Amino acid sequence: MRVGVLDIGSNTGHLLVVDAHGGAAPLPAFSHKQPLRLAEHLDETGAVSAEGIAALAAFTAEALHVAEEKGCEDIISFATSAVRDALNSEEVLEHVRERTGVQIAVLSGEDEARLTFLAVRRWFGWSAGRLAVFDIGGGSLEIAGGSDESPDVAWSLPLGAARLSRTYFTGTAPSEEGVRETRRVIRTEIARDAGHLLRGGVPDRAAATSKTFRSLARICGAAPLGAGNLVPRTLRLEDLREWIPKLVAMPTDGIADLPGVSPSRTHQIVPGALVAEGVMDIFGLEELEICPWALREGVILERLDQMSVLEQ
């Protein structure tokens, strides 16, 4: 069957059209996305602005049309941190439903971590052993770990790259003091619940997903996206530590010229790098393997599993 997955993230609205059936890897057929930057469309009260709501509704209507044109039998739609944490989240979702007829589900932070873990487990398989998974989004950091398809532990922290950029890196180039304070906040947040994962022992495999980690790995020398999903990619702590001072000192247009960096996300690279460094340091990881599957694939895989149960 052909399915459309509508992912409303803190940075981007993304419709991924896939051909999927039980027992097979979801095969991407078409991708349509737009930078919504909802995490940056929050007013002083924490509500999504009228501009942000209008942009989301317009993109959802456009995505619905694309899904119909591409022959999707079903559309799975969900939103993550920016909508989840917004003061007016119900109003936002109701406006989109009235405008488009699409009812967008809001994933909890734990579900986001759990579904991402499922995708990474399926990608690496059982040979990965005890698996730890990290995902830096625009609004939050997801952490999960375990030895099965469902993680033993899964949680979410308010350490997304866009959120940190908006809070700590506004206007001017980051100062040494500003970077130090941001690093302190990040590490305090991660360390507070680190024992959830550490109690299970050192993972046999540690993986990272999504755009921020992919960009950082590419900056640090990983193969380009064009080389294909089957090419192994890693992010090494040693390389990241070497790059962070360079990134802090680099102007925005200089960061935009780096390989793997989207122009709309240049301001998120430094905070994202600080989160990645904090994760690797606190959990004692010298490197992270980059997994090409993430939350969207996890959502698809869970839906296929549910359909298989109903068909039995």
Query: Collapsing DSSP states into helix, strand and coil, what is residue 123?
Result: helix
Q: In the structure, what pLDDT confidence band is assigned to residue 171 with cuts at 50, 70 and 90?
A: low
From the list 232, 304, 290, 296, the residue with the least C-alpha distance to 24 is 304
- Is residue 92 within 8 A of residue 83, CB to CB? The reply is yes
Pairing, β 141-146 against β 131-136: antiparallel
User: Rounded to two decimals, what is the model's pTM?
Assistant: 0.95
Average pLDDT over every residue of 99-124: 97
Residue 34's beta-bridge partner residues? 13
pLDDT at 57: 97
Q: What is the pLDDT of residues 243-294, one digit of tens each?
A: 999 999 999 899 999 999 998 899 999 999 999 999 999 999 999 999 999 9
Q: What is the pLDDT of residues 63-107, one digit of tens each?
A: 999 999 999 999 999 999 999 999 999 999 999 999 999 999 999
The domain ranges of the chain are: 2-106, 109-295
The C-alpha atoms of residue 144 and residue 152 are separated, in whole angstroms, by 8
- Percent of the chain exceeding pLDDT 70 equals 98
Query: Collapsing DSSP states into helix, strand and coil, what is residue 17?
Result: strand
Average pLDDT over every residue of 130-143: 97
Query: Collapsing DSSP states into helix, strand and coil, what is residue 81?
Result: helix
Domains 2-106 and 109-295 share a fold: yes
The C-alpha atoms of residue 281 and residue 193 are separated, in whole angstroms, by 14
DSSP 195-220: HHHHTT-S-SEEEEEHHHHHHHHHHT
The C-alpha atoms of residue 207 and residue 293 are separated, in whole angstroms, by 11
- Topology (CATH level 3) of domain 2-106: Nucleotidyltransferase; domain 5 (3.30.420)
- Is residue 278 within 8 A of residue 190, CB to CB? The reply is yes
CATH superfamily of 109-295: Exopolyphosphatase. Domain 2 (3.30.420.150)
Query: Collapsing DSSP states into helix, strand and coil, what is residue 99?
Result: helix
- Is residue 2 within 8 A of residue 29, CB to CB? The reply is yes
pLDDT at 310: 63
pLDDT at 144: 98
Angle in degrees, 0-180, between the axes of helices 109-124 and 295-311, rounded to the nearest 10: 80
pLDDT at 44: 85
The C-alpha atoms of residue 76 and residue 119 are separated, in whole angstroms, by 16
